Amino acid sequence: MKKSLGVLFSIISFSLILTACSSQKEKKKKKNASKLVLQVKYAKGFEIEQLKEEKKLIIKLPYPNSKEQFEYILNDVSSSKIVSQKSISITTPIKRIVVTSTTHIPMLELLGVENTLVGFPHTSYVSSTKTRNRINNGEIKEIGRKESLNTEILLELQPDVVIGFSMNKANKALRLVEKSGIPVILNGDWLEETPLGRAEWIKFFGVLFNKEKEADSIFNSIEANYLSAIELAKKSNSRPSVLSGAVMSKDIWNLPAGESFVAHFLKDAKTNYLWKESKGKGSLSISFESVLNKGKNADYWIAPGYFSSKKQLLKSNSYYQEFLAFKKNHIYTFSNKIGETGGVIYFELGPTRPDLVLKDIIKITHPNLLKNYSLTFFEKMN
C-alpha cells in the first residue's frame, strides 16, 4: 500500500511539473507574440518589432564599428498612448521628410511618397527625373553639402524626421538638428554586405510611412528577380575572369575586396573575380604593377573607377593598354550614365535595384543568356 501511494505521489508530482512547464511556455509564447519581429531576411543593420499598439524600429549598425544601437517608437496618428521614455517617439505616417543620400530617393519613389521630401543636400547629385522636377519647381530645398549641412534652412523646413548617415558618432550638424527637437535616424544601408541586404532597407522606409505591405511586396519582387538572375547565370558553361577598379591616386589601384558588396555581384553573376579570395568588405589598395601581373589577361574589366573613356585611361597611365580587356574593348563603366545635372544613376538607383545591376553584369559577361536585355547602369567604354 505504501509503495502504491509512493508511485501515485510521484505521478501527481510529475504531472504538476509538466503543467507548470506548459504554463510557462504559454506565457512565453504570449509575451513573444506581442513583440513579433517583422521579417528582415538579409539586412543586418535594422529590425522592426510589432508591439501591441506601436512599432519599434531598431537601428543596429548606425555607423561603422558602432557599439551602440538606437530605438524609435513609431506611433500611428490615431494612437494617443504614452510611449517609453527610453526610445525616441515618432508619429507615422511621415508627412515631411529630409533625406541625405541619393540612395534613399528611389525607395521613396517606389513607395509613392516622394512628395513628402522637402529637403536634400547637394541636389545636383539627384538623377531621378521625377524628383528633379520637384527640385526645379522649388518643392525640395537645397540644404548644403553632406559634409556641411545648412542647419538653418533645414530647421526652417520643420521636417517630421531627418534620415541621415554618418561615419562616426560625432556629427555636429545632425546633433544640432536633434537638439532642436527634430528626430534624426541614422540610415546604415550603405554598410550592408550583400546586394539584397541593401535593397531590403525599403522596409525601413515602409514602416515610417505605414506602408509595410507595399515595401514587402516591392522587395519580394526585387528578391525574386535577383534570385532568378543567379539561376540564369548558372546555366552558362563559362566563368570569365574579371578585373575591377583603377588607379585613383599615385600608383595605388583601388579595387573591391573579396567579401565586398561588389564581389557578391561578381560571384552571383558566375564570374571569376581575380581577387575573390582576398579578405575584407571594403576596398583593397594594391600597386599598379601587382594588378597588372595578376589581371593582365582578365576577360573583362568592370567598373574602372570614375574613368569614362579609354582616352582618359591612357592619359592617366599609358600602361592601361597592356590589359587584354583594354585591347579587346571589354571595359564597362557606369560613369557615362548620368542624370540631368551629372549625378551617376548607378549610385542612386543601383542599391535599390540590385536585380538590374546583376542582370547588367550577366549581360556583359554571359551575353548569350540575356539577348533581349539592354544595360541599365553600365556601358561599354570607347
Phi, psi values for residue 37, rounded to 5°: -80, 120
Helix (H, G, I), strand (E, B) or coil at 78: coil
**Domains delineated in the chain:** 36-222 (3.40.50.1980), 238-380 (3.40.50.1980)
Average pLDDT, the chain: 88
Identify the band that residue 251 occupies on the pLDDT scale cut at 50, 70 and 90: confident
Higher pLDDT, 372 or 12: 372
Identify the band that residue 29 occupies on the pLDDT scale cut at 50, 70 and 90: very low
Give the separation between CA 382 and CA 374, rounded to whole angstroms.
Answer: 17
Give the separation between CA 318 and CA 302, rounded to whole angstroms.
Answer: 19
Q: Averaged over 124-139, what is the pLDDT?
A: 96
Task: State residue 282's pLDDT score.
Answer: 87
Cβ atoms < 10 Å from Cβ of 257: 17
**47-51, 65-69, 117-121, 339-343 — most confident range:** 117-121
Helix (H, G, I), strand (E, B) or coil at 145: strand
Identify the band that residue 166 occupies on the pLDDT scale cut at 50, 70 and 90: confident
Identify the band that residue 86 occupies on the pLDDT scale cut at 50, 70 and 90: low
- Alpha-carbon torsion, ordered 140, 144, 146, 150, to 10 deg: -100
C-alpha cell at position 365: 559577361
pLDDT in tens, 326-350: 999 999 999 999 999 999 999 999 9
Higher pLDDT, 15 or 51: 51
Task: State residue 165's pLDDT score.
Answer: 86
Check: pTM over 0.85? Answer yes or no.
yes
Q: Angle of helix 212-234 relative to helix 354-365, nearest 10 degrees?
A: 10
Signed CA dihedral, 245, 249, 251, 254: sign only: negative
pLDDT in tens, 189-236: 999 989 999 999 999 999 999 999 999 999 999 999 999 999 999 999
Higher pLDDT, 221 or 66: 221
Task: State residue 274's pLDDT score.
Answer: 98
pLDDT in tens, 253-296: 999 999 998 999 999 999 999 999 999 888 999 999 999 999 99
pLDDT over 60 (residue 18): no
**Residue type at 67?**
K
H/E element holding 38?
strand 36-38
Q: From residue 291, give the alpha-carbon distance in Å to each of 63, 248, 319.
A: 31, 13, 11
Give the separation between CA 119 and CA 139, rounded to whole angstroms.
Answer: 8
Q: Is 122 exposed, middle or buried (0-12, 13-18, 19+ CB in 10 A)?
A: middle
